[in-house]
């Protein structure tokens, strides 16, 4: 049995065992299907299966039977990440078959792409002629090993797929393929490639139209930090620009980080029947300690689904509105002037908190969450007014990895607005209108539930509202 401590309540976690990347995110017949990289036997990464869950509101999920297991020659080492597409009412999955080819499983492997079909949305049949994008379709000058994470989409009457790889010289890249029937594929072009500053291998690419632009989103591995940006071992980024499907090119106008916290990786998006572009990410990070691996029998979680809205040449990320239906027990204070420390008269470990500060002349201010003053546990959000920086500090959060992340968040009319989601072992902070998001896993004791405001100098809380999420 999984242990209940740290188990999230309104985020998707594996029923048992391990979870990483979101896969096959799709909206069909009024339901959102979300698949995920899954090892069902232990809370560790192992030969990958596709776990499967379904939801009507993106908050309450029902587990379905495992969709894919490694049982073919071309996927014997695992069914790696991929995506879904609906063709004539049928759900089609496209995924990477991973094969280990020698004694060193970090070096000796090959990857190719296969299909699986489902008529009922529950049971999947792998295509008999898999792989459909085989080893022979990898262009020269590109890794013959890292060739994975197909994101399939329909565009101008044809199917396209983007795949992640590298040039074997330390530069991540994205490959573009085209097909009429999902079975016969031709290589079009290298759609985008690192110039040496964007990491040595790119994983989980996604390409979609948003507003009047195109967006390329991906997860660069080992991308060097740029100041306060891209400070995790592996990052997530998006490029806003123009996709030319005929030429197979992407012209970038602007790029930015998707999430500025510690734990957000391999995001995948889908579009729903309301026309919303929704993204969800794995709310963990490779090579970062996961305390629930130790005796809890589960590890890994998904982020809150976020709606993406284009604003000029940047993307705003907003928690999907369905979460508001789960709010209860409202607590509210308005117009509170304070300096120093101010304890808020409510507690919790599973809530949404919306707060607006008026910075005034205050040098630094912020709030502490999941506080236990007796033990010193706290997760701290600090705003430095002169620098315009918001920081998330989990050095005293509890067990698990510590550290601090900082992001540029300009004040709006002298005010800082934050929407914060806390769920047992996670925190997600949306600043302003969704210009900046910071996500982290934290592992405080159950007793660490306090909320404290602090300010160096006179500050005013315009309003603070908190709802338990049930
Ligand atoms: C990203 C990733 C993918 C791969 C999968 C394997 O987190 O490394 O590139 O398909 O995880 O589980």
Return the CATH number at 168.
2.115.10.20
Q: Give the model's pLDDT for residue 344.
A: 98
Catalytic: 21? yes
> Tokens 């067990």 correspond to what residue?
399
Do 21 and 266 form a contact (C-beta atoms < 8 A)?
A: yes
Is residue 372 assigned to a domain?
yes
Using CA atoms of 315, 282, 178, 33 in order, give the dihedral in degrees to the nearest 10.
Answer: -100
Q: Give the model's pLDDT for residue 361.
A: 86
383-217-292 Cα angle (round to 5): 65
- DSSP lists the bridge partners of residue 166 as 172
Identify whether residues 426 and 441 lie together within a single domain.
yes
Q: Which of 302, 319, 336 lies at the terminal end of a domain, its last residue? A: 319
**What does the alpha-carbon distance between residue 454 and residue 260 come to, in Å, rounded to a whole number?**
23
Is residue 199 assigned to a domain?
yes
Is residue 431 assigned to a domain?
yes
How many other C-beta atoms lie within 10 A of the C-beta of residue 345? 8
How many other C-beta atoms lie within 10 A of the C-beta of residue 292? 22
Return the CATH number at 331.
2.60.120.560
Q: Give the model's pLDDT for residue 19.
A: 98
For residue 219, which atom of ligand 1 is closest to its CA?
A: 1
Identify whether residues 175 and 125 lie together within a single domain.
yes
Identify whether residues 405 and 312 lie together within a single domain.
no
Ligand 1 centroid, distance to 211 Cα (angstroms):
29
Identify whether residues 31 and 180 lie together within a single domain.
yes
Identify whether residues 371 and 462 lie together within a single domain.
yes
Identify whether residues 303 and 357 lie together within a single domain.
no
Q: Give the model's pLDDT for residue 377.
A: 98
Q: Give the model's pLDDT for residue 1.
A: 86
Q: Which residues contact 37 (CB under 8 A, 6 or more apart)?
A: 18, 19, 20, 21, 23, 48, 50, 51, 80, 81, 282
Identify whether residues 35 and 175 lie together within a single domain.
yes
Ligand 1 centroid, distance to 266 Cα (angstroms):
8
Is residue 146 assigned to a domain?
yes
Strands (E) located in 394-449: 404-408, 415-423, 426-431, 436-441
- Ligand 1: which of 68, 200, 204 to mutate, most ligand atoms within 8 Å of CB? 204
Identify whether residues 279 and 334 lie together within a single domain.
no
Residue 394: what are its φ and ψ, rounded to 5°? -115, 25
Identify whether residues 312 and 431 lie together within a single domain.
no
Q: Give the model's pLDDT for residue 360.
A: 86
Is residue 455 assigned to a domain?
yes
Is residue 11 assigned to a domain?
no
**What does the alpha-carbon distance between residue 297 and residue 337 come to, in Å, rounded to a whole number?**
46
Is residue 8 assigned to a domain?
no
Query: In the chain, what are the helix, strand and coil shares in percent, each to the nearest 5?
Result: 5, 55, 40
Nearest CA to ligand 1 atom 9: 203
Ligand 1 centroid, distance to 81 Cα (angstroms):
6
Q: Which of 276, 299, 319 lies at the terminal end of a domain, its last residue? A: 319
Do 350 and 423 form a contact (C-beta atoms < 8 A)?
A: yes
Q: Which of 319, 341, 372 lies at the terminal end of a domain, its last residue? A: 319
Nearest CA to ligand 1 atom 6: 80
What lines the ligand 1 site, CB under 6 Å?
20-21, 37, 48, 80-81, 96, 148-149, 203-204, 265-266
- Ligand 1: which of 19, 81, 268 to mutate, most ligand atoms within 8 Å of CB? 81
Is residue 2 assigned to a domain?
no
Q: Give the model's pLDDT for residue 213.
A: 98
Identify whether residues 352 and 295 lie together within a single domain.
no
Residues in the chain: 470
**What does the alpha-carbon distance between residue 468 and residue 464 come to, in Å, rounded to a whole number?**
13
Q: How many domains is the chain built from?
A: 2
Ligand 1 centroid, distance to 21 Cα (angstroms):
7
Nearest CA to ligand 1 atom 8: 203
| Residue span of the structural domain in which 381 resides | 325-469
pLDDT in tens, the chain (470 residues): 899 999 999 999 999 999 999 999 999 999 999 999 999 999 999 999 999 999 999 999 999 999 999 999 999 999 999 999 999 999 999 999 999 999 999 999 999 999 999 999 999 999 999 999 999 999 999 999 999 999 999 999 999 999 999 999 999 999 999 999 999 999 999 999 999 999 999 999 999 999 999 999 999 999 999 999 999 999 999 999 999 999 999 999 999 999 999 999 999 999 999 999 999 999 999 999 999 999 999 999 999 999 999 999 999 999 999 999 999 999 999 999 999 999 999 999 999 999 999 998 899 999 999 999 999 999 999 999 999 999 999 999 999 999 999 999 999 999 999 999 999 999 999 999 999 999 999 999 999 999 999 999 999 999 999 999 99
Identify whether residues 421 and 450 lie together within a single domain.
yes
Identify whether residues 169 and 265 lie together within a single domain.
yes
Which of 147, 138, 144, 130 has the alpha carbon at shortest distance from 72?
Answer: 130
């Amino acid at each position: 049995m999984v242990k209940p401590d740290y188990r999230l309540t309104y985020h998707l976690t594996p029923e048992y065992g391990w979870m990483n990347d979101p896969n096959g995110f799709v909206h069909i017949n009024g339901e959102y299907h979300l698949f995920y990289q899954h090892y069902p036997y232990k809370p560790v990464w192992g030969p990958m299966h596709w776990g499967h869950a379904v939801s009507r509101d993106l908050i309450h999920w029902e587990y379905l039977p495992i969709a894919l297991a490694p049982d073919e020659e071309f996927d014997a080492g695992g069914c790696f990440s991929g995506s879904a597409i609906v063709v004539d009412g049928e759900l089609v999955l496209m995924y990477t078959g991973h094969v280990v080819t020698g004694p060193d499983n970090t070096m000796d492997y090959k990857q190719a792409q296969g299909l699986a079909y489902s008529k009922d949305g529950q049971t999947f049949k792998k295509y008999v002629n898999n792989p459909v994008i085989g080893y022979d379709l990898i262009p020269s000058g590109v890794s013959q090993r890292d060739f994975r994470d197909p994101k399939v989409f329909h565009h101008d009457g044809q199917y396209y797929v983007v795949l992640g790889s590298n040039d074997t010289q330390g530069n991540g890249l994205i490959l573009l393929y085209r097909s009429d029937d999902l079975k016969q594929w031709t290589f079009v072009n290298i759609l985008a490639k690192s110039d040496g500053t964007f990491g040595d291998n790119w994983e989980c690419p996604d390409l979609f139209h948003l507003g009047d632009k195109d967006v390329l989103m991906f997860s660069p591995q080992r991308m060097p930090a740029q100041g306060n940006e891209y400070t995790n071992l592996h990052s997530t980024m998006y490029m806003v620009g123009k996709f030319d499907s005929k030429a197979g090119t992407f012209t970038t106008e602007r790029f930015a980080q998707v999430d500025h916290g510690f734990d957000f990786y391999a995001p995948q998006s889908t579009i729903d029947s309301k026309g919303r572009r929704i993204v969800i990410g794995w709310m963990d990070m490779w090579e970062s300690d996961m305390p629930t691996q130790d005796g809890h029998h589960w590890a890994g979680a998904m982020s809150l689904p976020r709606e993406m809205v284009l604003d000029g040449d940047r993307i705003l990320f907003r928690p999907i509105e369905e979460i508001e239906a789960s709010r209860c027990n409202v607590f509210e204070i308005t117009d509170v002037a304070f300096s120093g420390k101010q304890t808020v008269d409510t507690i919790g470990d599973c809530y949404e908190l919306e707060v607006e500060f008026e910075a005034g002349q205050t040098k630094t201010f912020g709030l502490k969450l999941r506080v236990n003053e007796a033990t010193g546990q706290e997760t701290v959000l600090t705003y430095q007014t002169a620098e315009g920086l918001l920081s998330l500090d989990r050095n005293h959060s509890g067990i698990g990895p510590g550290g601090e992340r900082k992001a540029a968040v300009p004040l709006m009319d002298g005010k800082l607005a934050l929407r914060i989601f806390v769920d047992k072992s996670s925190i997600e902070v949306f600043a302003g209108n969704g210009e900046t998001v910071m996500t982290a896993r934290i592992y405080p004791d159950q007793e660490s539930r306090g909320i404290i405001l602090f300010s160096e100098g006179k500050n005013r809380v315009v309003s603070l509202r908190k709802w338990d999420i049930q």
